[in-house]
Amino acid sequence: APALSSNFLRAIVESDLAAGTHVREGLPSVITRFPPEPNGYLHVGHAKSICLNFGLARDYQGRCHLRFDDTNPEKEEQEYVDTIIDSVKWLGFNWDHEGPNGTEHHLHYASDYFEQLYAMAEYLITSGHAYVDSQSAEDMAANRGNFSTPGKNSPFRDRPREESLQLFRDMKAGKFPDGAHILRAKISDDAMASPNMNMRDPAIYRIRHAHHVRTGDAWCIYPMYDYTHPISDALEQITHSICTLEFQDHRPFYDWLLATLAEGGFFQQPVPRQYEFSRLNLTYVITSKRKLRQLVDEKIVDGWDDPRMPTIVGLRRRGYTPEAIQLFCERIGVTKSDGWIDMSTLEGCLREDLDPKAPRATAVLRPLKLIIDNFEAGTSVECSSPVHPHHPEMGVRTFPITRELWIEEEDFMEVPSKGYFRYYPPIGDAPGSRVRLRHGYVTECTGYDKDENGKVIAVHVNYFPDSKSGTPGSDTYKVKGNIHWVSAATALEAEVRLYDRLFTDPQPDGGGKDFMQALNPNAKEVITAYLEPGMTAAQPDQRYQFERHGYFVADRVDSTPGKPVFNRIVTLKDSWVA
């Protein structure tokens, strides 16, 4: 796990622990939750919230619940529940907790609380804290006012409690169509004049004749998010309810609701407290579910798990590791100020995680034929290299050198530019360049062939048989160029997908911009590459460093041993320019 640094939330938790704020019989003193709505796939922004909530529980011997906030039946599907569970697990977290009586599973659903939520709503009505409003949607909106204008009381605000209670029961019984009535909180006499719009008689129940994934047709009224969320927190005895900054203005209602219900005997003090942090904004990335859905629906990408997507399933398929994402979340920290985190920070964490553990391999991505004219055709010599330069325990890999090899196109120049040390031909009296074929021999360029269009199709060299890497005397050859290669006779041909950032604009949807205008047309390039022969064994999800190119993963969907397909995870260096 990454080294922990302090942040304002850890400071709050530590001071609560010191003060014993949440000491309760048989319960940990830190209980957090991650409460996604199952209406889409999780993205890198959610990862920040997951690492934060599960991380606090881990670091302070508490527990963290995964709770589905499933109160919008029309938008929610089992598919989303399943992928969210998978993604949280893949990120390295789980909701099991070793309690005094054994393992507890804290996977919860707000819909499990529908009965309790309903009973509390009846209590609010009978205690004068809620009423059924029968205004039309238009009147309700008009009477709500706006930031500069106080709202007006609904003509139904003072209807007798018994009447509201009867109407609410009839709402539940299915006697009205959608939108006919709504249950609203009555926080104070002058609540409709509150400068905080969220305090102006917020809706707490609405009529929706809709089928719910888990409760079926049992309900035709559904509780609102602002009502469900605090109560779910309190029922689960959450101590620190952490959410993004846009919910700061909802906190007064959160506190009022739980205090009112605690007075009614539904909860014991201390009730949960809400804390806000700034959401993750990552450059070159969008994190709105709606906009991500548009990319999928309009087939800009190949699905939710397209390796260009910032979804957790996309990052996973791209080759990101859970460790890199955790490291990133730790490194960016949590604050209350909005800002943009540079994509290179995430990529840096990824390289940092992969470098010490990725086996090295050779791949030629833009192949050009190299012919060693003084190497006997039909023969080969075995070459070898450590699987990892700093980890001898990872072993040694072997590959043959033969007369014909594949090298990168860019490792030859007909007319070398200044400071170019790779292959170039003899010019005038000057000999061609000397270059070491990495883990093989030193060679000298003698010429090249072109096709009828003037395109270079082969480079000719001679090799020095006494220059083989690792043999005595080989270091008497001093050469500046050192390139990778694969034997043409044994190379494994493989599909490689060169992925890049999906957008060219660092803030593709910033300032009301149309993110569709900022798509990077080069975000996916599919090529056929030549790999060293041992790569035939690559298992799906196995990550490698292709020397000089970057990190690559065998695609978890399309790759099979024997016929690998690779995704570029990230290049070796941050060389990205828009």
Q: How far is the CB of 36 from ligand ATP (least distance, A)?
A: 4
Residue closer to ligand ATP by CB (options 241, 542) is: 241
Whether the Cβ atoms of residue 567 and residue 498 lie closer than 8 Å to each other: no
Residues 282-321 that bind ligand ATP (CB under 6 A): 287-289
By CB under 6 A, tell whether 186 contacts ligand ATP.
no
Residue closer to ligand ATP by CB (options 36, 508) is: 36
By CB under 6 A, tell whether 169 contacts ligand ATP.
no
By CB under 6 A, tell whether 45 contacts ligand ATP.
yes
By CB under 6 A, tell whether 37 contacts ligand ATP.
yes
Strands 130-133, 182-185: parallel, antiparallel or unpaired by DSSP?
antiparallel
By CB under 6 A, tell whether 359 contacts ligand ATP.
no
In whole angstroms, how far apart are CA 334 and each of 49, 62, 302, 322?
10, 19, 33, 19
Long-range Cβ contact pairs of 298-301 (< 8 A, separation 24 or more): 300/516, 300/519, 301/502
CA separation for the pair 226, 245 (Å, rounded): 15
Q: Residue 576 has what DSSP assignment?
A: -
- Give the CB-side neighbour count of residue 363, counting CA atoms within 13 A: 29
Q: How far is the CB of 332 from ligand ATP (least distance, A)?
A: 10
CA separation for the pair 125, 123 (Å, rounded): 5
Cα of 183 vs its chain's centroid, Å:
37
Q: Is 289 a catalytic residue?
A: yes
Q: Per the structure block, which two tokens stand in for 493?
A: 């041909």
Task: Spell out the SS3 assignment of 163-212.
Answer: HHHHHHHHHHCCCCCCCCCEEEECCCCCHHHCCCHHHCCCEEEEECCCCE
Query: Helix (H, G, I), strand (E, B), or coil: what is residue 100?
Result: coil
Q: Per the structure block, which two tokens stand in for 78?
A: 């089992």
By CB under 6 A, tell whether 367 contacts ligand ATP.
no
Q: Is 279 a catalytic residue?
A: yes
Closest alpha carbon to 228 in 253, 199, 200, 262: 253
Residue closer to ligand ATP by CB (options 159, 331) is: 331
Query: Helix (H, G, I), strand (E, B), or coil: what is residue 45?
Result: helix
By CB under 6 A, tell whether 48 contacts ligand ATP.
yes
Instruction: Out of 152, 169, 279, 548, pick the active-site residue.
Output: 279
Residue of this chain nearest to ligand ATP (CB atom): 45
Mark residues 250-279: x for contact with ligand ATP by CB under 6 A, - for none: -----------------------------x
By CB under 6 A, tell whether 33 contacts ligand ATP.
no
Residues 235-254 that bind ligand ATP (CB under 6 A): 243-244
Instruction: Out of 157, 273, 289, 556, pick the active-site residue.
Output: 289
Answer for which of 120, 280, 361, 405 binds ligand ATP (CB under 6 A) is 280
Q: How far is the CB of 557 from ligand ATP (least distance, A)?
A: 25
Q: How far is the CB of 249 from ligand ATP (least distance, A)?
A: 14
Q: Which stretch binds ligand ATP (CB under 6 A): 33-41, 175-183, 445-453, 491-499?
A: 33-41
Q: Is 291 a catalytic residue?
A: no
Identity at 504, one-letter amino acid code: T
Closest alpha carbon to 113 in 264, 211, 219, 24: 219
Q: How far is the CB of 546 from ligand ATP (least distance, A)?
A: 32
Residue closer to ligand ATP by CB (options 88, 167) is: 88
- Give the CB-side neighbour count of residue 243, counting CA atoms within 13 A: 19
CA separation for the pair 259, 251 (Å, rounded): 12
Q: How far is the CB of 244 from ligand ATP (least distance, A)?
A: 4
Q: Binding residues for ligand ATP, per CB under 6 A? A: 35-37, 45-46, 48-49, 243-244, 279-280, 287-289
Active site residues: 37, 279, 289
